[in-house]
Structure 1
Amino acid sequence: MQASRNKKICVYLGAALLALVIATPVLWLFIMSISSSTHLTTLPLQWWPDEPTFENYRSLLIYAENTPSQSFLYGIRNSVIIALAATGVSIAAAIPAAYSFSRLPGKRRKNLLYAVIAIFMLPPVAIVLPMYTIMNALGLLNTHFALIIVYCSILLPFTTWLLKSNFDTIPSDLDEAPIIDGANRVQAIWYVILPIARPALGAAVMMAVLLAWDEFFYGLLFTNDIRAKTITVAIADLAAGRVADYGLISAAGILAAVPPVVLAFFMQKTLVSGLASGSVKG
């Protein structure tokens, strides 16, 4: 009894310590975002500004030409479009691919699956040169379409592996029964497999959106126009001048984190159940 209680105390203490480690940088980022430039350069450093201000947030959220708000708001718009489009294309392609890897017989499919996962494990710099050459030849640089295609090369292997792991836990008899009754393979997947795999599907969608939203390397290399730059690149541009406005950069970081945090908050149960459902084969 005492050992179990001590174990729970250790678990809670560990969780509290982890939460503190994660929350402290975010809290400091918020404090910087409501501080004036004078306060941020004052020594000794103060943990809370004497006169908190939300001017940095207003500067970013109120649109004006040739100001940081223009680049920031374009970045938000571009990231939303690119992340949703790349996620939609990746999920649409990952569903039949994952089903094929899970159900179709043959030893070669396992090797092919390993090849798909290996693509996901490659560092971005390893494949950026051929991608850039192709996009440049097709005139697709500085377009949403280019980043959507490039992001799909990141998201598709991951979502395929995640959905395949979940499909493996679903007995094949469940999708074979409607086929015997006259349904085709697509109908069996749509009406039988996907409803059962809804948690994993939700987790795949959420992880794909987050991966696309946070991506920086390809966005930096394939875009130099504010009409195509993603939010991560737009924030980096705020620090590119001779004198960086750390309060403005902090406010941009806080605002850019809001959509992923909101998405994770509302889909946390789906994420946990979706990731756990593929961990044990039933």
Structure 2
Amino acid sequence: MRNRPSPVLYVFCAVLAVVVLAPFAWLVISSVSPSSELTAGTLWPDHPTLERYRDIFTSSSGGDNVAGTFRLAMLNSLIVASCTTIISLVVGSLGGYAFARLRFRFRRTTLFAFLAIYMLPPIALVIPLYLAMANLQLLDTKLGLIVTYCSIVTPFCLWTMSNFYLSLPVELEDAARVDGCSRLGALLRVVLPLARPGIVATAMFGFLLAWDEFLYSLIFTSTTNAKTIPVAIAEFTGKFSSDFGLVAAGGVLAALPPVLLALLFQRYIVSGLTAGSVKG
């Protein structure tokens, strides 16, 4: 007879769900609360309003209108994060396979060097990256941010995909090569389909790295041409006053794309994380 889960487990899961979801629920409540009720401490406002969301999506983006600027920042973040993820994932998938399957001198040393670069604090690279972007005339451009973010996300993709490939049986590739496939053909026809969970999980976390990055975007951008969501939310706080409701609305909108991606691909993310942790 199959053992039923203990009631204690259900209680623990319920408490964990409340702890995880309560901050986001309060963020949503704050975003629809009038300014007069933000500090009242009520669980739900007496007069909820969607005025802040309307301002974000309908206000003009010129001048000091931070709500309209946030709309452009959302588009910039989507473009920068998507392009960064695609480039880093392609490089990470091919490079990770080379590190996992090919044997060459300094293979592990090179892989650990990429990991060391990923682990460096961003502030340590600000000055050289800023000078490089200035010399290439890429400051305040989305292309400049994409190049910068790739230096962060690509090492992560390389390391993650390399570990995931190590969890796949090499005999399947050998069988494909016996049947006439080249190494590249075996990679495209056999390995990548099997690695789909790892690819989705890596893409998800790479997208989050680029989506949430704040320091480089703050320093390398100055106008709405390339300003991203984290910087736009920071600008909701003025010198003498802060619109906390607008900050909450921006936080809700900033959280929606990652949450939706996680819900759509949760099956691949869970299987990718568990399979990729078998070897390393």
Bin of the TM-score, shorter chain as denominator length: over 0.9
Quick one: distance in 1 between partners of 2:148 and 2:9? 41
Indicate the residue corresponding to 1:151 in structure 2. Answer: 149
Which residue among 55, 65, 72 is the counterpart of 1:59? 55
Once the two structures are superposed, what CA deviation does each residue of 1:26-47 show, in whole Å capped at 9, x if it has no partner?
12111111111122255xx433
State yes or no: 1:221 paired with 2:219.
yes
CA 1:121 to 1:197, structure 2 compared with 1: closer, same or farther past 3 Å?
same
Q: Does the aligned pair in 2 maintain the 1:203–1:271 contact within 8 Å?
A: yes
CA 1:179 to 1:233, structure 2 compared with 1: closer, same or farther past 3 Å?
same
State yes or no: 1:200 paired with 2:198.
yes
Indicate the residue corresponding to 1:134 in structure 2. Answer: 132
* Other structure's SS at 1:227 match: coil
Per the TM alignment, residue 131 of structure 1 is displaced from its structure 2 partner at its CA by: 0.6
* Other structure's SS at 2:226 match: coil
Q: Match of 1:210, as an amino acid?
A: L
Indicate the residue corresponding to 2:117 in structure 1. Answer: 119
CA 1:279 to 1:41, structure 2 compared with 1: closer, same or farther past 3 Å?
closer
- In the superposition, the TM-score normalised over structure 1's length comes to 0.92
Indicate the residue corresponding to 1:266 in structure 2. Answer: 264
Q: Identity over the aligned pairs, expressed in percent?
A: 43
Q: Report matched runs for 1:1-282 at 5 Å.
A: 8-41=6-39, 45-66=41-62, 67-106=65-104, 108-281=106-279
Per the TM alignment, residue 180 of structure 1 is displaced from its structure 2 partner at its CA by: 4.0
Q: Does the aligned pair in 1 maintain the 2:66–2:235 contact within 8 Å?
A: no
Quick one: distance in 2 between partners of 1:15 and 1:210? 25
Per the TM alignment, residue 281 of structure 1 is displaced from its structure 2 partner at its CA by: 4.3
Alignment gaps of 5+ in structure 2: none
Quick one: distance in 2 between partners of 1:65 and 1:151? 25
Q: Match of 2:47, as an amino acid?
A: E
- In the superposition, the TM-score normalised over structure 2's length comes to 0.92
Quick one: distance in 1 between partners of 2:51 and 2:39? 17
Quick one: distance in 2 between partners of 1:65 and 1:180? 60
Per the TM alignment, residue 50 of structure 1 is displaced from its structure 2 partner at its CA by: 1.8
Q: Match of 1:254, as an amino acid?
A: V
Q: Number of aligned residue pairs: give it.
A: 277
Per the TM alignment, residue 242 of structure 1 is displaced from its structure 2 partner at its CA by: 2.1
- RMSD value over aligned CA atoms? 2.0
Q: Does the aligned pair in 2 maintain the 1:238–1:249 contact within 8 Å?
A: yes
Q: Does the aligned pair in 2 maintain the 1:59–1:68 contact within 8 Å?
A: no
Q: Match of 1:8, as an amino acid?
A: S
Q: Does the aligned pair in 2 maintain the 1:140–1:146 contact within 8 Å?
A: yes
Quick one: distance in 2 between partners of 1:100 and 1:240? 50
* Other structure's SS at 2:217 match: helix
* Other structure's SS at 1:52 match: coil
